[in-house]
Structure 1
Amino acid sequence: MNNILISGAASGIGAATARLFHQRGWQVGLLDINADALAELAAELGGAWHRVLDVSDAGAAAVALADFTESRKGRLRLLFNCAGILRVGRFEEISLAEHAQIMQVNVIGMMQMTLAAFPYLRAMPGAQVINMGSASGVYGVPQFASYSASKFAVRGFTEALELEWQRYDIRVGDVMPPFVRTPMVSSQTSVAPILQRLGVDLEASDIADAVWLQAHDARVHRPVGRQFGLLYRLGQITPSALMRVLMRWVSRD
């Protein structure tokens, strides 16, 4: 039976993905720092395997991977690095500690999970890693500076590892949505102009559908949503200066 281990699984995109894969017969493993929400989701999914985990803790990540794969012959079909945090606001108005935490969770946490998962992925023919990318990783978004930086890092890491791990028959890709209606977005105290101008039209279930597609039709990058899909394709052929003008327009105060 196929299995998937999801970080950041307790709410939003992670929870929607867990529900979808569980409904379609996959064994689901849930990881999150929010113990109460995690236990509630695990119960909803019939007692799904779950562990409380801070992905920035490398030792704990390694233990979680070992525990999840112990009863699965040491194999992992799919790791979904979904854990992430966001802080919207002007760069200079956000503390250095908050900027650092965004990078620690969104980038270092992703790397630590992926490294810990490697031996179990390698043991499973056709295994995959899917990283939570973002439209913010294509062109820097004002008032999302450190978040954009983290998603640029996700994009570069994904591209490099996809090439490196072909030798092991491990596919590495990401899903890249624009803004999604999740607790992470709705809890922000600052609303960037780009959110007001472009709106938040995607639901967590839309991204879960994209993860399901990625699991069965692997790509390096999978843009999500009609609007961003068009902008992404345009960005592949359009001079960066034009994209900068577009971003400046949609982000203006």
Structure 2
Amino acid sequence: MSVVLITGAASGIGAATAHEAVRRGHRVAIADIDMAGASLLATALGPAACAVQLDIRDEKAWEAAFDTVASRFGPVEVLINNAGIIHTGYARQLSMAQHRHMVDVNLVGPMTGMMTALPRMRAQGRGHIITICSMSSFMPLIGYTSYGATKHALRAFHHSVAIEEQGGPVTFSIIHPPGTRTPMLEQEMADPSSVITFAEKPLDPEQVASMIVDAIAKKPLEVVHPALAGRFQRVAGVFPRLMHFAIPRVAAMARRRSPGAGPGPVTAREQGGSR
């Protein structure tokens, strides 16, 4: 069993992953900017879990988090980069501060975590980095401009590092869940700009958590879910004309399914988990 650090683990996918990892016998560090929420969950999960304060944008906080976990459970063997945020709204409706906030949390934050973990894992001779990305990493979506851009970039960075480290002691997996029933999804569903959310049936966070914890043992290079729809999105994302044809039609279909939209753009939820 492994020592696992999960970011954005106080709620959503991260919290469900912490539950599942502890259930399967791992020791889990619940890392989140929301220390109160992380502490509550750690207490509920018992001695195999601990809470760690972590703003993933802060390099020193990352170093402190790894040191804290090492003093409690031993060196981190698995890093699950899960934390993420979204500011909903069309690109023109968002301020540059909101665009930059998503870049800082969704891209620079996981990058910082990987660059903190990598030398430590190399030195200890073992490690596994799991990046929780998004199906939006394969194609641009209406209402997800900067969010999708960060996920495109995160996927590229993850695979680039993984290729650089081939043959070394650190393994890499990246997982792309679809819409998942979390506070982030509730936020998206309340905003008419994010109507494309209704194009697919969302998963429960426990379903995504099972995939993530499976990856600790199986170490897949990349997981797309659902597999069939994921293949279509990956192909469509390669061809601009196909994207420009298909995405507005998917959005129109989603609009017909929508039970009604809320008042408009919503403030982001901080580091609660990836979509």
Q: Give the C-alpha shift of residue 122 in structure 1.
A: 1.6
Alpha-carbon distance in 2 for matches of 1:29, 1:247: 39
* Matched residue, 2:197: 195
Q: Which amino acid aligns with 1:217?
A: K
CA RMSD of aligned residues (A): 2.0
- Shift, 1:126, TM fit: 4.6
Q: Would the alpha carbon gap of residues 124 and 231 (structure 1) be closer, same or farther in structure 2, given more than 3 Å must change?
A: farther
Q: Please say if 1:169 is aligned against 2:169.
A: yes
1:16 corresponding residue in structure 2: 16
Structure 1 counterpart of 2:140: 140
Matched, 1:37 2:21: no
Is residue 62 of structure 2 the alignment partner of residue 70 of structure 1?
no
Q: Deviations over 1:136-171 (max 9, x none)?
A: 100011110000001001110111011011242211
Cα deviations by residue, 1:34-80 (Å, 9 ceiling, x for unpaired): 1221111010110422112111111111111122123555x322100
Unaligned segments of structure 1, at least 5 residues: none
Aligned to 2:246: 246
C-alpha distance in structure 1 between counterparts of 2:150 and 2:30, whole Å: 23
Which amino acid counterpart does residue 60 of structure 1 have in structure 2? Answer: A
Query: Does the aligned pair in 2 maintain the 1:10–1:38 contact within 8 Å?
Result: yes
For residue 91 of structure 1, what is the aligned residue in structure 2? 91
Task: Tell me if the contact between 1:17 and 1:208 (Cα under 8 Å) persists in the aligned partners.
Answer: yes
Q: What is the TM-score normalised by the length of structure 2?
A: 0.84
TM-score by length of 1: 0.91
Contact 1:76 1:123 in 2 (8 A): no
Structure of higher RCO (CA pairs closer than 8 Å, 6+ residues apart): 2
Unmatched segments (≥5 aa) in structure 2: 256-275
Once residues 9 and 25 of structure 1 are traced to their aligned partners in structure 2, the CA distance between those partners, rounded to angstroms, is 17
Aligned position for 2:112: 112
Tell me, in whole angstroms, the C-alpha distance in 1 between the residues paired with 2:40 and 2:177.
27
After TM superposition, give the deviation of residue 225 of structure 1 in Å: 2.2
Task: Give the CA deviation at 1:234.
Answer: 4.7
Q: Work out whether residues 35 and 51 of structure 2, in 8 Å CA contact, stay in contact via their aligned partners in 1.
A: no
- Whether contact under 8 Å (2:2, 2:26) holds in the other structure is yes
What is the match of residue 270 of structure 2? none
Partner in structure 2 of residue 204 of structure 1: 205
Q: Tell me which amino acid in the other structure corresponds to 2:66.
A: L
Question: What letter corresponds to residue 133 of structure 2 in structure 1?
Answer: G
SS at match of 1:31: strand
Other-structure match for 1:228: 229
Corresponding residue SS for 1:129: strand
How many residues are aligned here?
Answer: 250
Higher mean Cα deviation, 174-183 or 214-223? 214-223
